[in-house]
């Protein structure tokens, strides 16, 4: 079976970049990305590809190459479903905010809506691919909906989780560690798996394409994110102990990272992890474990989230305590709002929660981030529903340069590890601040000795 037409439902952080790369590498395949959000589709179709809604290094160039040739962005969902042989589902699966599983389980209402729409529209056999991060056995629910349409169409459900790191998504897509495809072990399932394998094989070595049953594929995504987040929470737990004992967490991380059994990755102490996946997926894993009565398993993974939340609170508390136990009326400059560098994604960013804590203490927050808009920052604070929109608006100032954001500040907090922060004239920034001038390096990216020689009172994580 040769694939020539692909549809992706969902033009977000997964669907947009993934389909752009597939289109670039498979010019013989028509790739249509559909979304009901008209503004999002309009932004993807902006003639200036630098204005597309997702910032990832290299993405605008790929979109510019493929868009209009074999990559299309549209709101005509039914038409794209009808034409496609393969339909990727890449819609949002947020944590539930209501009902059973509130605060832990994944909200699958958008997944179900997609399945019902596919069932209603499809007139020929289709391969439906789970691309969103989903709980194990979600494919069973999708298949139940699709197989009970009564119109005789045959569907094969595949799980093809993404393992992208935001900020390096294009690099990860072009040269992945692995591509994972799960499906039924029937002959029809094997045919569908092989058809998707052949798509990726246009640029990925086949020895990097793993095939499993659908349940293993679904659970592998949650497990991968849980393991990565666990390492971050583990080193952050040690950072607090380092601060109490006089050890340096950077030296500890280097020492244990040289152990080949452990390795150096994800051992960078920080103010905490964020993003759309880690917290959501671990909470989902906790909920699944509890639903099977595996309470000890659930407690183990929930502690990863508890530690991460503690690290954020600890950082904001350190700022208040260091500034003589009051930040009321003081200007605190934030460098960075995105949850990590090289992305404009702010979901679960530590900056949101640290800002919320400090505004509660009546601090004035000034922010510079090279890719995040003021509107998005205010939206993030409003979502917490801690105070009114007007109060957030008056407590948050935003600037187009770090130098302006830091002018007249009592303290600076590094919340995102943007590379440009390491290139600044820190003497100039110090001279523009209130004295004593404090710098809280929530990402441990700056040279403590250099900053202290200028005159800063430097506070890193775990040292």
Concatenate the DSSP letters of all residues of 234-271 into one string: HHHHHHHHHHHHT--HHHHHHHHHTSTTT-STT----S
Residue 228 has pLDDT above 70, yes or no: yes
Per-residue pLDDT tens over the stretch 141-167 = 788 888 876 578 899 999 999 998 999
- Return phi, psi of residue 231, to 5°: -65, -40
CA 347 – CA 401 distance, rounded (Å): 23
Whole-model pTM: value is 0.90
Burial of 327 (0-12, 13-18, 19+ CB in 10 A): buried
Whose CA is closest to 81, among 159, 9, 146?
Answer: 9
Q: Which of 85-89, 92-96, 99-103, 444-448 has the lowest mean pLDDT?
A: 92-96
Contact call for residues 77 and 38 (beta carbons, < 8 A) = no
C-alpha distance from residue 372 to each of 160, 189, 277, 361 (Å):
30, 43, 19, 24
Structure tokens, 43: 């932004």
Name the pLDDT band for 135 (thresholds 50, 70, 90): low
Q: What mean pLDDT do residues 273-296 have? A: 93
Q: Is 242 a catalytic residue?
A: no
Structure tokens, 196: 């998707």
Residue 147: per-residue pLDDT: 80
Residue 143: per-residue pLDDT: 81
Whose CA is closest to 134, among 277, 291, 289?
Answer: 277
Name the pLDDT band for 134 (thresholds 50, 70, 90): low
Where do we find the tokens 């479903």? Answer: 81
Residue 23 has pLDDT above 70, yes or no: yes
From the candidates 114, 242, 277, 406, give the one annotated as an active-site residue: 277
């Amino acid at each position: 079976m040769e694939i020539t037409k692909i549809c992706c439902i969902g033009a977000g952080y997964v669907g947009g970049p993934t389909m752009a790369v597939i289109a670039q590498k498979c010019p013989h395949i028509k790739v249509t990305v559909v979304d009901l959000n008209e503004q999002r589709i309009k932004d993807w179709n902006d003639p200036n590809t630098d204005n597309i809604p997702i910032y990832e290094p290299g993405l605008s160039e790929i979109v510019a190459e493929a868009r209009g040739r074999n990559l299309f962005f549209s709101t005509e969902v039914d038409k794209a479903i009808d034409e496609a042989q393969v339909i990727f589902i890449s819609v949002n699966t947020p944590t539930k905010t209501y009902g059973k599983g509130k605060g832990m389980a994944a909200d699958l209402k958008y997944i179900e809506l997609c399945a019902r729409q596919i069932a209603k529209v499809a007139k020929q056999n289709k391969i439906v691919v789970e691309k969103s991060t989903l709980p194990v056995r979600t494919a069973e629910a999708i298949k139940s909906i699709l197989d009970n349409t009564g119109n005789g169409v045959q569907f094969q459900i595949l799980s093809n989780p993404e393992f992208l790191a935001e900020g390096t998504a294009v690099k990860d897509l072009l040269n992945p560690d692995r591509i994972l495809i799960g499906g039924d072990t029937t002959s029809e399932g094997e045919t569908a798996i092989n058809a998707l394998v052949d798509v990726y094989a246009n640029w990925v070595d086949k020895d990097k394409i793993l095939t499993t049953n659908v349940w293993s594929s679904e659970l592998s995504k949650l497990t991968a994110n849980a393991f990565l987040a666990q390492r971050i929470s583990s080193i952050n737990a040690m950072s607090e102990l380092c601060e109490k004992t006089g050890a340096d967490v950077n030296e500890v991380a280097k020492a244990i990272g040289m152990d080949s059994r452990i390795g150096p990755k994800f051992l960078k102490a920080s103010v905490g992890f964020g993003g759309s996946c880690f917290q959501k997926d671990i909470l989902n894993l906790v909920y699944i474990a509890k639903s099977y009565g595996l309470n000890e398993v659930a407690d183990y993974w929930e502690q990863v989230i508890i530690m991460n939340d503690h690290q954020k609170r600890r950082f904001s508390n350190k700022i208040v305590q260091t500034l003589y136990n009051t930040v009321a009326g003081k200007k605190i400059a934030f460098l960075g709002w995105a949850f990590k560098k090289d992305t404009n994604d702010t979901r679960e960013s530590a900056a949101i929660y640290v800002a919320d804590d400090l505004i509660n203490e009546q601090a004035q927050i000034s922010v510079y981030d090279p890719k995040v808009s003021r509107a998005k920052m205010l939206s993030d604070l409003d979502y917490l529903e801690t105070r009114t929109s007007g109060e957030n608006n008056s407590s948050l100032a935003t600037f187009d340069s770090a130098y302006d954001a830091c002018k007249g500040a009592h303290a600076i907090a590094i919340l995102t590890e943007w590379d440009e922060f390491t290139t600044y004239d820190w003497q100039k920034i110090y001279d523009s601040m209130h004295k004593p001038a404090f710098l809280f390096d929530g990402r441990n990216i700056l040279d403590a000795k250099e900053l202290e020689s200028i005159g800063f009172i430097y506070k890193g994580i775990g040292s």
